[in-house]
A = this chain, B = another copy of it.
Amino acid sequence: MKFTAEAVWSDILAIRRQSPLIHNITNYVVMNNTANAMLAMGASPVMAHAQEEVSDIVRIANALVINIGTLSDRWVLSMQTAMKEANIKGIPIVLDPVGAGATFYRTQTVQQLLSVASPAVIRGNGSEVMAIVQTGVQTKGVDSLDSSESAIDAAHILSNKYGCAVCVSGKIDYVVMDKQVAQVENGHAMMTRVTGMGCTASALCGVFLSVNPSVFEAAAHAMIVMGIAGELAAERSDGPGSLQLHFLDSLYSLTETAIVQRMKATA
């Protein structure tokens, strides 16, 4: 399997044309960035978490993005309700298990959510992906420690168990599904100094899933676009403050040429 700039670009055009509605139940820290990244891509984000309405929102959405970054009991209940409804309606789900492994509560919540419905994509850093599989692993907060072979092994286990694509973000992003492994080498080190870049990556998975029926391709395309927009932004930035805004500008004005010239993805 080979990723092509044409296929990435075709998804981007579809997003800009269709303006898919993406329902996010995500964390307080990144809501603003996530909404802005989606708007910059041409998608239409909705943030809604009340038990009274999540099912109604899911029903009109083209994808559901669940992110446990600042979880609490009532939010987790709403995540479950939304995932159940998405499952019934066949709406693709992205799960970002932020901080899995850092606390028992997070690891356990991820297991509960996964028992409600299988996501189309799980996206996390190496520590988080490993923690879901090996519940004994203690991770350090929400930042990645590792994106090694053990993380890819864990991703394969998760992918097989839930029939989903698993993205392992790091210096190299891996997308694992069935026997396939994609490697995306786009991106820039400075992106790790902006909060919520991982969360944005998960959100973009939701955006691409809403226009591309191939889950594996959608996830890889999201990683490619994240990485290229990050590179374009970092090259114009003096630090993580300016990177954050240039990143949104880059998503907004992304061209096919930039993708052709920069894309480094193999499968």
What is the interface of chain A, defined by CB distance below 8 A to chain B?
19, 21, 27-33, 35-36, 39-40, 44-53, 56-57, 60, 69-74, 99, 102-106, 138, 140-143, 192-196, 237-242, 244-253
Contacts and interface: CB of A to CB of B under 8 A. Distances in A.
Copies in the complex: 3
Contacts of A33: 32
A52 B105 contact: yes
A246 B240 CA distance: 9
Contacts of A74: 72
A102 B46 contact: yes
A30 B33 CA distance: 10
A51 B31 CA distance: 22
Contact of A73 (B46, B50, B102): B50
Contacts of A31: 28-29, 70
Contact of A50 (B40, B49, B56, B72): B72
B32 A47 contact: no
Contacts of A71: 50
Contacts of A28: 28, 31, 47
